[in-house]
Chains A and B, each alone.
Chain A
Amino acid sequence: MNVKKDAHSKTKAIAVTILIFVILVPVGYSLVTYVFARSSPKGVPFIEMPASQYEKCVRETEYMRYHHWELLQQIRDEVVRDGIRGDIKLSSCRECHPNREQFCNQCHNAVNLQPDCFGCHYYPASTQATSGEMHGNEAGLHPKNIITEPGRAMGGEQDDG
């Protein structure tokens, strides 16, 4: 009788421990990562401020920060499908923000986005010729391109030259 009771309480104790771990581990993990993310300077994108002949951007900074892709997509549809070519182009972004590494990628990397605009639209990753450091995602290539053609990925190509 005593033995049976002991076994029962032991099982109960193990179950409670496992339950506590199941709850504590993810909560603890997120707490730790949150604290690290708070303390690291990577949480602040937009290091590079534009230096150019223009006084201000085509839209307000807050709009461009959170909705620039909507503007770009709207312009894209107007240009490609209707042939209406206005003043705003992706290439004219380069005039104020020449360095994609310091500008676009700061935020795209922070939110883990790899838009494939730059596989076809020219936007240099860095203003210097030291583009050998960039890898596929930073070059704006879709990951599928890197997997299907490893020999032609941006990294390998740069090693040759």
Chain B
Amino acid sequence: MDRRDFIRTGGILLVGASSAYGLRMLAVSSSRAPSPGSLPTTRKWGMVIDLNKCSSDCNVCMDACRKENNVAIHGDERWDIHWIRKVKIKSKNLNNSGEKSVPLLCNHCEHPPCAQVCPVQATYKRHDGIVIVDHHRCIGCRYCIIACPYNARYFNYKENDDWPNKDFPKRSHGVAEACTFCAHLLDEGKQPACVEACQRINAGAIMVGDLNDPESDVSQIIANNPIKRIREDLGTEPKVYYVGL
């Protein structure tokens, strides 16, 4: 075998071996199972707040949220965090007294601006529509706080010392946070803390349910009542619906 033959045979062998290896890689990559995050789900969580049943001097939902989710309160409005808060709205257009107490929280938008601006994909929309912060990934840049048109996001300027619910993690200094619809409870088939608290005092003003299911309570109320969402003109498609706003 002279030198030319040797190189030719060697080259053919090399190409053959590499292509065989490549074929095997292709077979492996095509047989990979889809990741659980890309699985389609039929559920889409949404909330209905009936302001006719919500009294202005009641803070049960706020307290329940604080206890369940270890939401920090430092006694200083610069640092206090509210996943759900109540604001008074005065308007001539309102039906009864001209004043309404409105619970405000993360609207879990269909097109969340907070998730769009997050540079590390720490904020994202779950497959069931809940907008959530991965606190492990959050770098504390606060873009989401600026982007949110509902002022629903808060920043942990301080370490939280209170830890009422030991089964649920608190957040460390330097991450952003907002309402999660109590995703940890919804995943277990329970109701969020604010909903349960509101039902416990027999008000039943807050309800959470599946928007994709036309038979669910939430879908029925949305279909049969005049509903409003906050700042619908922005096109964020919020999933918190208000009755009587």
Contacts and interface: CB of A to CB of B under 8 A. Distances in A.
A120 B134 contact: no
A85 B173 CA distance: 26
A122 interface: yes
Contacts of B128: 83
A84 B172 contact: no
Given A78-B36, A120-B135, A83 B169 contact: no
Interface string B117-130: 00000001011101
Given A120-B169, A121-B169, A145-B159, A81 B188 contact: no
Interface in A47-80: 76, 78, 80
B167 A122 contact: yes
Interface residues of A, number: 20
A152 B159 contact: yes
Interface residues of B, number: 27
Main secondary structure of the interface of A (DSSP, over half): helix
A105 to B, nearest CB: 19
Contact of B126 (A76, A83, A145): A83
A120 B187 contact: no
A116 interface: yes
Interface in A71-115: 76, 78, 80-85, 91
B12 to A, nearest CB: 43
A126 B163 CA distance: 17
Contacts of B132: 80
A159 interface: no
Nearest to A148: B173
Nearest to B186: A83
Contact of A83 (B35, B173, B187): B187
Given A82-B127, A145-B159, A120 B171 contact: yes
B188 A85 contact: yes
Interface in A112-133: 116, 119-122
A121 B168 CA distance: 7
A122 B158 CA distance: 18
Contact of A157 (B37, B161, B173): B161
Nearest to A121: B169
B184 interface: yes
A85 B171 CA distance: 20
A157 B158 CA distance: 14
Contacts of A152: 158-159, 161
Contact of B36 (A80, A84, A91): A84
B163 A149 contact: no
A116 B35 CA distance: 28
Given A83-B183, A122-B166, A145-B172, 8 more contacts: A82-B36, A83-B128, A83-B187, A84-B36, A91-B167, A116-B172, A120-B135, A122-B167
5 contacts: A76-B136, A82-B35, A82-B36, A122-B167, A152-B158
Which 4 A-B pairs rank lowest in CB-CB distance, beginning with the nearest?
A122-B166, A120-B169, A82-B36, A82-B37
